[in-house]
A and B are shown apart, each in its own frame.
Chain A
Amino acid sequence: MYIYDEYDHKMLEERIIQYRDQTQRYLDGKLSDEQFLPLRLQNGLYIQRLAPMIRVAVPYGLLSSTQLRKLASIARDYDKGYAHLSTRQNIQYNWPKLEQVPDLLAELAEVSMHAIQTSGNCIRNTTTDQFAGSAKNEIEDSRPWCEIIRQWSTFHPEFAYLPRKFKIAVCGTEIDQAATQVHDIGLYLLKNDQGEIGFKVLVGGGLGRTPLIGQVICEYLPWQHLLTYLDAIMRVYNMEGRRDNKYKARIKILVKELGIDAFREKVEAQWQFSKGNQATLTEAEVNRCKSFFSTPDFEQLPDEDEVINAALQSDLLFKNWVDRNVAPHKQAGYCIVTLCIKDIGAAPGDVTDRQMEFVADLAERYSFSELRVTHEQNLTLADVRIKDLYEIYKACKTESLATPYLGLLNDIVCCPGGDFCSLANAKSIPIAEAIQRRFNDFDRLNNIGDITLNISGCMNACGHHHVGNIGIIGVDKKGAEFYQVALGGDAGREAKLAKILGPSFSQEEIPDVIEKIIQIYLDERQHNEKFIDAYERLGMEPFKEKVYAKAD
């Protein structure tokens, strides 16, 4: 992974000094709430319903064992012994004290971590596919490019006060697990006919109040021009994005109102001044960044392991876990393991300090001391020997981390909701739990098969409900919490937005509603058709009919 040099360390130190001073001036009454607001947000600090919340940046989801151990100790010392994995591959703490945050940041800096630009109207943490660098049939490893974008976006002086937040995703894998098309800018790595790396650039995607799929602004951008082109897009947005209405301030609205062709013209007009200038990437810089993500020291191993094959025969629960949570690796004898952080009774994506330390040890022992946070709020060990799988599984069982639900209905993506978040209209965690309890049977879940279920407590859509096969969103109806259900969303390469099923439901009704939807699918599916494919074929009508049928 990327290793900080003296420049990176210096900037981080200066940031902490700056923020310590800002906090002190705020506490001394020399900065007003309004003045302090964007400063603290650009350090990830929200004032929440019960206490402040701090969001720590995990650049493109990548963590070392050392970093995760530090996050565990921070959970103990500043929080109530747990942390939350966010849908932006970041980590959140819900109980720090405002005046302690500078100390917390200093502790993070000890392991080259920070909370820079994890909130506020600036460029946020760049995300990518959690299998980057390890996936089979990968087009190009996205991690060096994410690091290049991280550095370019960090403290960018021109773009710290944008009309609204700005999110970038990069994808170099065959299957897109980064929800690339619903980002302000989505970058697909690709190669031209000469085998040269470039980017297909999408702009104007996003979720929230007005969900939109990104549109192609550039079919092939040669890698050298990545940063000057991003600068040009950002500049047009910074100058022309709406600032009169925060709900219309995202770049997606600007792109939609102008039309992609007119928007492209404006970007090109800006770009002609900067194209080829000093911000143009050099081979030396790309190679420097790539050197941090070189292939680990893999052993030469056979494709299969006899001991593991025997265990798969004798231990059905192990087999279930392997079938669901283990993905193929580019290197023979290796695989990618994802720990599903969706144990019933804990909020989706919540990990305890003890679990974090356990996973840090696991990664150190079995996956070159690295792991990834996924945007589905799980943890991935990306470079595991197949022969170690059974040991890993048995160890995970002791920490409630061997849930075999990855990609199944109970692998729910869920925002913190009204239990914590002051923006939320409704709670989301109890909804997730009620559904998980209703469906808590592996055979039943496995029979339903691949499906995504996303829950957001409000239209800000942190739970990505627009791109869930089933999406649930909390709404406020005359002061009471209600839930709308939507069907047909997809965050992958064929991204689609879910459509609303109909009138909203009370919290108590939701498990029944989900059950009815699933039953229609099971009754109607053909062969091994996935839920999303069956929905595409059947349309909304049969689901609507069944769910809203009057009992008589």
Chain B
Amino acid sequence: MPKLIKDGAFIENKWHLFDKETDVEAINSINDGNYIVPLKLWLDNKELFSKKTVDIGIWLDSDESPLSLEADVNDFSVIALNFPIFRDGRSFSHAAILRQQLNFKEDLRAIGDVQRDQLSYMLSCGFSSFLVPEEANEEVLLAGFHDFSENYQSTVAKPTPLFRRR
């Protein structure tokens, strides 16, 4: 089971992640719990999901724009953005758009190829939780949030750029 980091600590991951191949049958069978479902599955079965009492989050792949959600994003308690490979940087911009343009206030999760050396940039772009491989070294990963104590730019995490503070 992959491990979850939130607020600088490892926490219990109660969210089950449905992959892209998941079909509608799987939704029918769920009754309780927390599920993160792929964008398309949700878009195609909105009605069905609305009747469920389970907690639903949604995940977007790096080639799916958050603008395609067609819903109030704050209806989701988790939105997850996938990094199919760590060097695919699209989800950094998608995270910023969710926070800055769609005003998403809930938990924004990085999933997929999430590694230590991208964590501080993810945090700056508005991610608030991070799904990492089970075998990952916890100490090494947590250190990744503290590579830099400051940045020059206006970011989601710190909108006032350094030049307005120095």
Contacts and interface: CB of A to CB of B under 8 A. Distances in A.
Indicate whether A and B interact: yes
A274 interface: yes
A151 B162 contact: yes
B101 A273 contact: yes
B74 interface: no
A313 interface: no
A247 interface: no
Contacts of A30: 140
Contacts of A320: none
A11 B151 CA distance: 8
B152 A151 contact: yes
Interface stretch (B7-15, B16-24, B39-47, B118-126): B118-126
A14 interface: yes
B115 to A, nearest CB: 7
A35 B115 contact: yes
Which of A154, A156, A157, A281 is packed against the most chain B CB atoms within 10 Å?
A: A157
Given A39-B117, A158-B96, A160-B121, A238 B151 contact: no
A288 B161 CA distance: 15
Measured as residues with beta carbon below 8 angstroms from the partner, the interface class of chain A is 35 or more
A148 B152 CA distance: 10
A468 interface: no
Contacts of A121: 87, 89
A235 B162 CA distance: 20
B100 A274 contact: yes
B121 to A, nearest CB: 4
A156 B88 contact: no
B125 A158 contact: yes
Nearest to A121: B87
A161 B114 CA distance: 13
A54 B156 CA distance: 33
A152 B164 CA distance: 13
Interface stretch (B29-37, B104-112, B142-150): B142-150
A5 B149 CA distance: 15
A237 to B, nearest CB: 9
Contacts of B122: 157
Interface in B149-166: 149-155, 159-164, 166
A304 interface: no
Contact of B163 (A151, A159, A161, A163): A151
A285 interface: yes
A154 B148 CA distance: 12
Contacts of A513: none
B92 A5 contact: no
B152 A155 contact: yes
B83 to A, nearest CB: 9
Please classify how large the interface on chain B is, using the bins under 10, 10 to 19, 20 to 34, 35 or more. Answer: 35 or more
Contacts of B161: 227, 278-279
Contact of A5 (B117, B118, B148, B166): B166
A279 to B, nearest CB: 4
A243 interface: yes
B65 interface: yes
B112 to A, nearest CB: 13
B159 A278 contact: yes
Contacts of A161: 86-89, 92, 118
B32 to A, nearest CB: 36
A7 B87 contact: no
Interface in A267-291: 273-274, 277-279, 281-282, 285, 288
A277 B87 contact: no
Which of B94, B121, B149, B163 has the most chain A CB atoms inside 10 A of its CB?
B163
A355 B113 CA distance: 47
Contact of B166 (A7, A156, A159, A279): A7
24 contacts: A7-B162, A7-B166, A11-B148, A11-B152, A15-B148, A151-B152, A151-B163, A155-B153, A156-B152, A157-B92, A157-B121, A158-B89, A158-B93, A159-B92, A160-B118, A161-B88, A163-B89, A238-B92, A239-B94, A277-B154, A279-B153, A281-B163, A285-B163, A288-B163
Interface of B: 65, 86-90, 92-94, 96-97, 100-101, 115, 117-118, 120-122, 124-125, 140, 143, 147-155, 159-164, 166
